[in-house]
Structure 1
């Protein structure tokens, strides 16, 4: 009887760290799935393409940001109060419209 018990115990995993490695694998799969979901949800697939692009976040508001990608370089421009107080004021010179097919038309005023 003792021999059967020793055979059964040999088959069991006696390493307590194996549970930790399995949890790590599950966490990694969850993290990758979350990143893919966020990228697809916010339509940020342009960041991974080879094309150059410009994106404006919160247009016309105080926390507006302009993000441009040129090749491998990504630039982020945030207007600040210092730039506005330097005396360089701007004025509106026209309006840009984006059509359904993606074309942008500029109409000067």
Structure 2
């Protein structure tokens, strides 16, 4: 009678170890995605009740402002067009030495 050796078994699948690696990589990818969302403090992007505003390329000619409130997403793109018309002055904006812009609304009259 012959002894069965480890490499003589026919029921072992050589790709079985790869399936376990696939499961591990899938869990790693999902956890990496969740970690990135929490790092950028943007869990509001995934929820239906969150409100978030994102500015892409600030100060550049192709700047975009993306505003999400609930399920509604609004995208505003910058343009070089000048607008004219009648309106009401709402306040004054000041640029500080640090480069930040502060808006001061006018009081009601």
Answer yes or no: same fold by TM over 0.5: yes
Unaligned runs of 5+ in 2: 94-101
Structure with greater proportional helix content: 1
Dislocated runs of 4+, deviation >4 Å: 6-10
Mapping of residues 25-104 of structure 1, within 5 Å? 25-57=23-55, 61-62=59-60, 63-80=62-79, 84-85=80-81, 87-88=82-83, 93-95=91-93
Q: CA deviation at 1:16?
A: 1.8
Compute the TM-score of the two structures, normalised by the length of structure 2: 0.60
Return the TM-score normalized by structure 1.
0.60
Unmatched tracts of structure 1, length 5 or more: 96-104
Q: Is the 8 A contact 2:91 2:103 kept in 1?
A: no
How many aligned residue pairs are there? Answer: 94
